[in-house]
Amino acid sequence: MTRLVEVENLTKQFGNVRALDGVTFQVEVGEWIAIMGPSGSGKTTLINILGGLEAPTSGRAVVDGTDVAHLDEKGLTRFRAEKIGFVFQQFHLVSYLSALENVMLAQYFHSTTDEKEAREALRRVGLDDRLEHLPSRLSGGEQQRVAVARSLINQPKLLLADEPTGNLDEANEEIVINLFRELHAEGHTILMVTHDSSIGRLADRRIELAHGRLVKVNAAAWIS
Amino acid sequence: MFARLLWNLLRASRARLAVALVALISGAAVISALVNLDLDVERKLTQEFRTLGANIVVAPAYALAGSGASPMSPALMDESVVQTIEAMRTPAVIAVAPYLYVVARASVENSDLPVVVAGTWLDGIRRLEPAWKVTPGWIGSREERNLCLVGRNVARQLGLAPGKEIELRYAGNSIVETVAAVLEAGGPEDNQIFVNLPEAQGLLGSDKRIGLIQLSVEGSANQIESFANRLGQALPSLEVRPIRQIADAEGLLLDRIRLLIFTMVLLILVLTALCVLATMAALAMERREDVGLMKALGGSISRIVGLFLAEVGVLGAAGGLLGYLAGIALSRWIGERVFGAAITPRLDVLPLTVALTVGVALAGAMPLRLLGKVRPAVILRGD
C-alpha cells in the first residue's frame, strides 16, 4: 500500500496547554481511520493540522508528500484547495447560497466551476431534488450530505471529517455513515473524528487520544 | 460563478447594504449637484453680474486718461465708432449703448435746476441696465424722440411724473421732453435725465458725436479683458477699458464659491465614507464565519476580499449612478433658488461622480481588511 499521511512526533501548544504531545502514526491510501478520545484530547487539533488549518508547534505532518509545517499561508491555501476535503460537525454551509452553489463554491476556490459536475456530486449523495434549496430549507442530514458532496467535488487526496454525525438524528446518521462507507469502498482515504464507538468500529483502524497523546491504537495503526 | 456569488452576497445583506447605498446615493447626489454647480457657476455668475451694468467702456483716449470715465469730459468721438463695435459683436456681447452727457438746465413750471442729461438709445439701455427699476416701464422705441427717463431724485426735486413736460437748455439750445418713466438705479443715474441720443446731440449742438460707449459683455474676467484688447486693437485712437471693479468682484466671488464647493465635496466624501465604514465594519463581523469557511475550502484571502470589494464597488457604482440622477434634480433646485435659473446638467459629471462614489465606498470598506486575519480553525470551532 502507498503511504498518504505520515505524522511524526507532532506537538501543538496553545499557550500553556499542550493540545498534542508527540503524536506519531501513518495512514495508507484508501484507509478509513477513526480518531477517538474524550473532549479536549486533541482530536480536532490533529485533523486541523493535517488539513492545514493550524500550524504544528513541532514535529512533522506530511500529507501526500507535503509537510504542512513548512507551508506558508499561500501554500496552505493551495494545499487545502487541492488535497483536502473537510466535513464539519456544524455542516458550515454558506447560508445565502443554494446547495448547488455551496458545492460550486469549493470548485470556484479550487480552479473553475463546472455546474454539471456539481449537480452530479449532489445526485451522488441523493440530493438531486434539492439543488436550488438554501441550507435553511434542508434538514440536518441533507445539509451534511451537501457538505460531503462539497468535500468530494475537487477529488481530494484526504477526507477529514470532524464528528460528521454529531448533530444528526439516528436516521440521518445512518444515511451519512452509509455514504462514508461507500466512499471508503470506492478507495477514498478518510480520517474521521468521532465519539461513537459503533462508528469507530466501521473504520479500518482506530486511534485514541487522551491529553494530546496517542494512548490506544490497534496494532496496524501504531507506528512509534 | 463570480457574478453568481456577487449577486447572492448583495441579496443576502440587502438590508444592511441598503443603509450604505442610501448614504452613497445621498453623498453622490450632493457631489453631483455641487460639481454641476461648479461647472456652471461661472456662466451663472457672469449672467448675474451682467445685471450690474456695463463692464467695458470705450471713450476718447484723453477722456479716460485722468480720473476715469468722467461724463463731464468735453472729449467727443464720432458716432460711427458704434458701427465698428457692432461689426465686431460676438454672442457674448449682451448690449452696446452710446452716451453723450450734457450738463443742462432743466425747467419745469417755476423750478429751474442744473442737471446731467444723458443722451443714449433709450430702447437699448434696458439690456445694459436690467437691474434698474423703471416706473411705469421702459421705453420701447427710440423713434419717439422726445420721450425721456427721469432719475428718481430729479423727479422729486422738479415734481416730475410720467406725462409731464420738461424743458432742457444748454448754450442757447433747448429741447422739450415728455417724461415717460421715473427710474431708480441706486446710483448717480438717479440724479440724471435720459433722453434719446439725437436730442442730446441737438442740445449740445454736436451732430453725430458721442462721449463714450458702454458695453455689457458676458464671460470671465479674462474673456472680458481679451475682448477689450481686441476692441482696443480695432480702435487704436480710443481708450477701451474693462471696468475692473466688477470683473475683480466677480473673480473673487467665483473663487470663494469654488472653495466652498470644494470644501463641501470633501466633507461629504468623508462623511459618506464614514457611513459606509460603519456598515462594512458590521458586515465584516457578520461574515467572519463565511470567510473562515471559504479559507478552509482553499479560498485565498485576496480572492475572498476581492469578492467583497467587488460587492462594495457595485454598491458604489449604483450609488454614484442614482446619486448623479438625484443630483441633476438637486442642481436644478439650487440653480433656481440661488440664480433664478436651472443649472445645466453635464454628462461629464457622471463618470466623475461614479468614480468618486466608488472610491469612497472602497475607502469605507477598510474594515474588510480585518477578514484577512480570520483564522478558519478558530471560526469553524465556533470560538
pLDDT tens-place string over residues B300-322: 888 888 888 898 999 999 999 99
Rounded to the nearest integer, the mean pLDDT of chain A is 89
- What ipTM was predicted for this assembly? 0.87
Amino acid identity of residue B248, one-letter, is: D
Cβ separation A86–B377 shorter than 8 A: no
Average pLDDT for B78-98: 89
Q: What is the pLDDT of residue A78?
A: 92
Query: What dihedral do alpha carbons B53, B56, B61, B64 form, nearest 10°?
Result: 40
Q: What is the pLDDT of residue B323?
A: 94
Report the chain B residue with the minimal C-alpha distance to residue A150. Answer: B297
d(CA B296, CA B377): 8
For residues B123 and B141, the answer to whether their CB atoms sit within 8 Å is yes
* Coil/strand/helix, residue A106: helix
d(CA B109, CA A198): 129
d(CA B209, CA B197): 9
Q: Kindly report the nearest CA distance between residue A180 and chain B, in angstroms.
A: 20
Whether A109 and chain B come into contact, CB under 8 Å, resolves to yes
Q: Which residues of A touch B11 (CB under 8 A)?
A: 96
Cβ separation A90–B296 shorter than 8 A: no
- In this predicted structure, which of A44-48, A101-105, B64-68, B137-141 has the lowest mean pLDDT? B64-68
**Quick one: cell of B305?**
476580499
For residues B24 and B272, the answer to whether their CB atoms sit within 8 Å is yes
Average pLDDT for B59-66: 66
Q: Kindly report the nearest CA distance between residue A210 and chain B, in angstroms.
A: 19
Q: Which helix (H) or strand (E) holds B261?
A: helix B244-286
* Coil/strand/helix, residue B97: strand
Strand-strand pairing, A213-217 and A189-193: unpaired
Helix-, strand-, coil-residue percentages of chain A, each rounded to 5: 35, 30, 35
Cβ separation B1–A108 shorter than 8 A: yes
Cβ separation B380–A88 shorter than 8 A: yes
Query: What dihedral do alpha carbons B359, B364, B368, B373 form, nearest 10°?
Result: 110
Q: Calculate what percentage of chain B has a pLDDT beyond 70.
A: 95
User: Taking a contact as any Cβ pair under 8 Å apart, which residues of chain B between 2 and 61 contact chain A?
Assistant: 2, 4-5, 8-9, 11-12
Q: Kindly report the nearest CA distance between residue A219 and chain B, in angstroms.
A: 31
Omega prior to B136 cis, within 30 of 0: yes
Q: Which residues of A touch B294 (CB under 8 A)?
A: 94, 105, 109
* Coil/strand/helix, residue B1: coil
Cβ separation B300–A44 shorter than 8 A: no
Q: Kindly report the nearest CA distance between residue B359 and chain A, in angstroms.
A: 27
> Which residue stretches of chain A are H helix?
43-50, 73-83, 99-110, 115-124, 140-152, 170-185, 197-202
pLDDT tens-place string over residues B333-348: 887 887 777 777 888 8
Cβ separation B376–A53 shorter than 8 A: yes
pLDDT tens-place string over residues B343-371: 778 888 899 999 999 998 888 888 887 78
Q: Kindly report the nearest CA distance between residue B303 and chain A, in angstroms.
A: 8
Q: What is the pLDDT of residue B343?
A: 75
pLDDT tens-place string over residues B220-271: 778 888 889 999 998 988 989 888 777 677 778 888 888 988 899 899 999 9
pLDDT tens-place string over residues A108-118: 988 888 899 99
